[in-house]
Structure 1
Amino acid sequence: MRRLGLIGLALLIAGAGWAGWHRFGPRPPAPPMAPEATRIDHILIEKSARRLTATLDGAVVMKADIALGFAPDGNKEIEGDGKTPVGLFRIDRRNPNSAFHLSLGIDYPQPDDIKRARQQGTDPGGDIFIHGQPNGVAGFTLPGDWTLGCIALSNAEMAQLWTLTETGTTVEIRP
């Protein structure tokens, strides 16, 4: 009986060690951080992870949790579908006076989106922005996916991204 107790204890310790190694063990090296950068050249939006990563020459300058459109799965196809588009875009406009705390417009729809929508007899939608919280919601970040297809950050994160981002910056949106 004592032997079974010792075997059980050994298995418990081995399992805890494996779980600790699995959770806290070696990880691939993180990209280098460049927190003192004054600009970025790439914004990566990972929809499934609800994460924005801004980089300069591959070095991470900032990361932020994001909210997406109210129906985020899949690619944007028509106006009002609540989806955030997937693809490679550029920042094509800046709006300091938007209905949200600052906004950076992306050049959606692309020619292929317009062509597809025309073939389907639909409107591909547009006015996709990276922006902060709605004006008048100071000090609070809305929970969940609540936009109409845009990418939303906290106001503080949006202010940081605004100062780092120039018109023409690449925006990659992945599923």
Structure 2
Amino acid sequence: MMATAMGALLTACGKPAVSKFRRYDGPPVTRVQVFKKQRRLQLLSGNRMLKDYKMEMGFAPDGHKQIQNDGRTPEGAYRIDRRNANSRFHLSLGISYPNSDDIARAEAMGKRPGGDIFIHGTPTNYIGQDDWTWGCIAVSNDEIEEIYAMVKDGTPIFIYP
């Protein structure tokens, strides 16, 4: 009885919490593409564009990510290889950077390539600045909820200059 009364009281105090996990039952996303110069992230099914988003990226937007902490977003062909439902940035999808070429390039410079590159939402204190990440691709929290539902692990992602 006490639990029922508490539930009614909490419901009366405001709207019930909305889950950040959405369902998607449309065409499969077969490709993610990112155009850094245009600041666009696109989801495709075959040749058909399903969604197009404005995005932000690393604070040093020009060029391919070379080494850890360079602030650049990688360029090239990768895969979505993991997901984080408890991200500091709402939700996030991991990108398979670094690949063997990225590792070899960084090692030739005597450096580490870095890692933990994601497509993610925004932190709670986000103030809307441009190109603020350390190399990740950022969209709004509403958009990452949609992307998180639509894009499966293993989906190829192509990041263009």
The alignment's TM-score, normalised by the length of structure 2, stands at 0.82
| Residues 12-161 of structure 1: pairs in structure 2 closer than 5 A | 37-134=26-123, 136-137=124-125, 142-161=128-147
Distance 1:38 1:158 in 2: 18
Distance 1:80 1:128 in 2: 11
Bigger helix fraction: 1
Provide, for residues 77-116 of structure 1, a one-character-per-residue CA deviation record: whole Å limited to 9, x for no partner: 0111100000000000000001101000010000011111
SS of alignment partner, residue 144 of structure 2 = helix
Listed as ranges, the gaps of 5+ residues in structure 2 are: 1-24
CA RMSD of aligned residues (A): 1.6
Structure 1 outlier segments of 4+, above 6 Å: none
Residue pair 2:27, 2:45 contacting (<8 A) in 1 also: no
The answer for the alignment partner of 2:17 in structure 1 is none
Deviation, 1:37, is: 2.4
The answer for the alignment partner of 2:155 in structure 1 is 169
Deviation, 1:141, is: 6.2
Deviation, 1:168, is: 0.1
Deviation, 1:143, is: 2.5
Residue pair 1:78, 1:124 contacting (<8 A) in 2 also: yes
Looking at CA atoms only, which structure, 1 or 2, has the larger radius of gyration? 1
Gap change, CA 1:165 and 1:141, over 3 Å in 2: farther
Residue pair 1:113, 1:124 contacting (<8 A) in 2 also: yes
User: Between Structure 1 and Structure 2, how many residues are aligned?
Assistant: 138
Deviation, 1:119, is: 1.4
Distance 1:37 1:142 in 2: 31
Provide, for residues 113-158 of structure 1, a one-character-per-residue CA deviation record: whole Å limited to 9, x for no partner: 1111111100111000000001x24xx6622100000000011111
Residue pair 1:90, 1:171 contacting (<8 A) in 2 also: yes
